[in-house]
Structure 1
Amino acid sequence: MTHAGESTSPIVHHVDKLDVPTDLSPKDAIVSFATNLGFDYVGVTSVESLKRGMTAQDRVRDGFMRGLNWFTEERVIKASSPKQLLPEARSILSLAVSYYYPLRSSEPLELHGKIARYAWSQDYHVVLKSKAKLLVQFIEKQFHSRRNRIFVDDGPLLERAVAERAGVAWYGKNTMMLTRNHGSWVLLAEILTDLSLSEDEKLNKNCGSCTMCITACPTGALTPYALDNQKCISFWTIEHKGIIPRDIRHLIGTWVFGCDLCQEVCPVNRKVQQTQNTAFMRSDTHIHSVDLIGLLQMTPEQYQIKFKGSPIKRAKLDGLKRNACIALGNIGDAQAVSHLEGVLIDSDRVIQIHAAWALGQIGGIHAKEVLTKALSSNKDDEVIAEILNALDTIKSSHDDKTSD
């Protein structure tokens, strides 16, 4: 595997902009071009079936992927068989790009919700796919290749298993892929190609006795090298479109899109190099946190403008508003009550349910008045049940304070 991140060459954006030395082997020429495209790691592996597929099938059978109805055993079998995805394929290029950029400590955080770091900037699917397309153009032009297929987290291929076997990264106990110089803050892409390239060796590295990520996960989603989807904050805030269970809500904290806790505590991530890819470097368009009150009040038009070209759009506006309600409930600041009242009265029922819960968590006379008023006008059984539960929470809190 070649670590490409130390190159100081300017990143190219067109196949004809780079002269590749003619004395390089096809693999070295491809690595050189990929480096200049901005890929930090480039590895090659065979198209043999991926042994990690057996583990992935076990995870599906054990219910770890519940909620992702498309993630079936049949899909895993296909994703483990590169030749099914491109019969002409003879090698797989595994590519990785760092997206780590530090957060300035002076950032305002009051009544703000947190965003997973990978979503701070442009949609990585678009960024990596554009780079991979240029690499394919180079391969086809330079080596007369005819059959290539690109994957960027958008098709049935076990990408992490490919990265492991190609020597790009190793598995962490948090199920993230760890690299030598950029830790787990990397995004993956793959190219199945009809070129036959020499394979790289798998890295002989592991997490040893460290369990910091497992301890740090507030929901208990992690066991060594396995993640239970139904306990993962990222699943609930991004993939799940309905009601989030009450026993999960208070564990979400202020995350409104994804979660980085298991990465933030990882020792491998302590002294990582920051990204040199401009698409992931800080700019005025980066969204590292969101104003929760502003999110509650956001119109569909504002949503389209605010999150244009961002992976945050995957959660949809209603999902983000639902998540904002939970974050405000966990913050417990009374200044949010009047804003939660607005969505409790005039919103989708799923948002109403979480707004009621948040008001119960905040408590106080104003929150109680808002809930009582909504109770008399709402006709939805689930919303009514949530309002009653919130009122009970406020009463219990008041009773506890009185007894003290």
Structure 2
Amino acid sequence: MANETLKAEIIEYAKSIGIDKIGFAAANPFAEMKSRLKMQQDDDYQSGFEKGTIEERTEPELHLDDAESIIAIAVAYPSRMKSRPTNKKGNRRGNFCRASWGHDYHIVLNEKLEKLEAYIASRVTGFRSRSMVDTGELSDRAVAERAGIGFSGKNCSIITPEFGSYVYLGEMITNIPFPSDEPVDDGCGDCTLCIEACPTGALVAPGRLNAQNCIAFVTQTKGFMPDEYREKVGNQLYGFDTCQLVCPKNKGIDTHHHPELEPDPELVKPELLPLLSISNREFKQSFGKMAGSWRGKKPIQRNAIIALAHYKETSAVDRLIELMKEDPRPVIRGTAAWAIGKIGREDGRQAILDCQQQEVDEEVLEEMAKGLAYFSHR
């Protein structure tokens, strides 16, 4: 009974610090998730960004030896910006996914969890906890599902009744045996819109994702982007939203509860050409507070070059030629050469031929050949 009262008090306090939804679950091992992760591993569907072993990702007691329960939290984020900058010829823009809008959600949620920990510690002698947000070992989605935050959709997102899938998730393992909340019933029904809309077939089955084929993952890689994804990425600089945008449960959902999560239009839809010249310091100053900056500027610049090629932006060719000639990074030189061919401005052909004579990197030379092939096929 005492823990029922404490639970109610925690729920009220959570609301006061901007936690939009909170749920409580037992800290038993996640047996079903363990088998699913094993299947992902066997099928080579993992992204490689996952932290920890399968056991560490599914057994809370490995992170808190006297774990009794887990508190799951959700914080809602916007799905629309209040003013969108114009994307037009001569001034093309890229796109960061909605999960990277505003201040880095890892920081925002960790701050809320720290406040929640301090609140509980002030009320319970001997309280122990371990909190995680996204980059921790436990599966946020499995915890949120068990704690009644929402159901796990066919698009592999937690879908809440109130905020759709536009929520950030975090959790706190505790040594307090709180009463558990009931899971939310699955709401997808026969709908398969997300699976049908996935441009790469990464959603191989309801609730099963081949992460290595997902555009969101591809935009975060650091090497040359495989050819088969370049058209499908379009103007995406980081992440991908289509599997959420087509979801009927997200229709009409647009939550603006947190000023720190509001997007800066010039950052989440930035001009592409200036990104090609941005210094490390400028990148950190402008984009460093966004979740989408975590891999550094090179993937963003590579994706910006691919986006300019997607638009066939002829005004970018001069800068692309400079990158092909001078950039010390093979991925940028090679992608620029490919993009010059894709865009097709006639002087680009000779520029590639000239640079071929000086280039020694085999992968860059392959990209130059791809660029030249576009001119041959016209």
* Shorter-normalised TM range: over 0.9
Structure with greater contact order relative to length (CA < 8 Å, sep ≥ 6): 2
Q: CA deviation at 1:144?
A: 2.2
In the superposition, relative to structure 1, how do residues 24 and 159 fare at CA in structure 2: closer, same or farther (>3 Å)?
A: closer
84, 109, 116: which one pairs with 2:87?
109
Partner residue in 1 for 2:260: 279
Alpha-carbon contact 2:153-2:207 (below 8 Å) kept: yes
Residues 1:208 and 2:169 aligned together: no
Matches of 2:213 and 2:169 in 1, distance apart? 24
The RMSD of aligned alpha carbons is 1.8
Partner residue in 2 for 1:291: 271
1:20-41 Cα offsets, whole Å, 9 max, x none, are: xx99800000011011111111
Matches of 1:325 and 1:370 in 2, distance apart? 17
Matches of 2:49 and 2:197 in 1, distance apart? 28
Give the residue type in structure 2 aligned to 1:345.
Answer: K
Greater displacement, 23-32 / 241-250: 23-32
Partner residue in 1 for 2:14: 34
Alpha-carbon contact 1:150-1:189 (below 8 Å) kept: yes
Alpha-carbon contact 1:145-1:195 (below 8 Å) kept: no
Alpha-carbon contact 1:90-1:193 (below 8 Å) kept: yes
Alpha-carbon contact 1:119-1:310 (below 8 Å) kept: yes
Q: CA deviation at 1:315?
A: 2.5
Q: Secondary structure at the match of 1:86?
A: coil
In the superposition, relative to structure 1, how do residues 76 and 206 fare at CA in structure 2: closer, same or farther (>3 Å)?
A: farther
Partner residue in 2 for 1:171: 152
Give the residue type in structure 2 aligned to 1:247.
Answer: E
Q: CA deviation at 1:283?
A: 5.2
Partner residue in 2 for 1:76: 54
Give the residue type in structure 1 aligned to 2:112.
Answer: K
Partner residue in 2 for 1:357: 338
Q: CA deviation at 1:104?
A: 3.9
Alpha-carbon contact 2:80-2:254 (below 8 Å) kept: no
Residues 1:127 and 2:105 aligned together: no
Q: Secondary structure at the match of 2:191?
A: coil
Matches of 1:187 and 1:174 in 2, distance apart? 15
Give the residue type in structure 2 aligned to 1:28.
Answer: A
Gaps of 5+ in 2: none
Matches of 1:294 and 1:262 in 2, distance apart? 29
In the superposition, relative to structure 1, how do residues 106 and 350 fare at CA in structure 2: closer, same or farther (>3 Å)?
A: closer
Give the residue type in structure 2 aligned to 1:225.
Answer: G
Partner residue in 2 for 1:94: 72
Q: Secondary structure at the match of 1:143?
A: coil
Gaps of 5+ in 1: 1-21, 399-404
Give the residue type in structure 2 aligned to 1:140.
Answer: A
Partner residue in 2 for 1:188: 169
Give the residue type in structure 1 aligned to 2:27.
Answer: V
Q: CA deviation at 1:190?
A: 0.3
Partner residue in 2 for 1:326: 306
1:305-352 Cα offsets, whole Å, 9 max, x none, are: 111322122121111111111111111121111111121112210111
1:347-398 Cα offsets, whole Å, 9 max, x none, are: 21011111111112111312212212221222222211211121012211x1
150, 153, 169: which one pairs with 2:134?
153
Q: CA deviation at 1:273?
A: 4.1
Partner residue in 2 for 1:225: 207
In the superposition, relative to structure 1, how do residues 60 and 40 fare at CA in structure 2: closer, same or farther (>3 Å)?
A: same
Q: CA deviation at 1:297?
A: 0.9
Identity %: 30
Matches of 1:90 and 1:235 in 2, distance apart? 34
Q: CA deviation at 1:146?
A: 2.3
Give the residue type in structure 2 aligned to 1:147.
Answer: R
1:125-146 Cα offsets, whole Å, 9 max, x none, are: 1110011000000000012242
25, 34, 37: which one pairs with 1:45?
25
1:235-250 equivalent positions in 2, closer than 5 A: 235-238=217-220, 240-250=221-231
Q: Secondary structure at the match of 1:290?
A: coil
Q: Secondary structure at the match of 2:270?
A: strand
Give the residue type in structure 2 aligned to 1:108.
Answer: T
Give the residue type in structure 2 aligned to 1:230.
Answer: Q
1:303-322 equivalent positions in 2, closer than 5 A: 303-322=283-302
TM-score between the two structures when normalised by the length of structure 2: 0.94
Alpha-carbon contact 1:93-1:192 (below 8 Å) kept: yes
Greater displacement, 49-58 / 121-130: 49-58
Q: Secondary structure at the match of 1:149?
A: strand
Partner residue in 2 for 1:8: none
Q: Secondary structure at the match of 1:340?
A: helix
Q: Secondary structure at the match of 1:146?
A: coil
Q: Which runs of 4+ in 1 moved over 4 A?
A: none
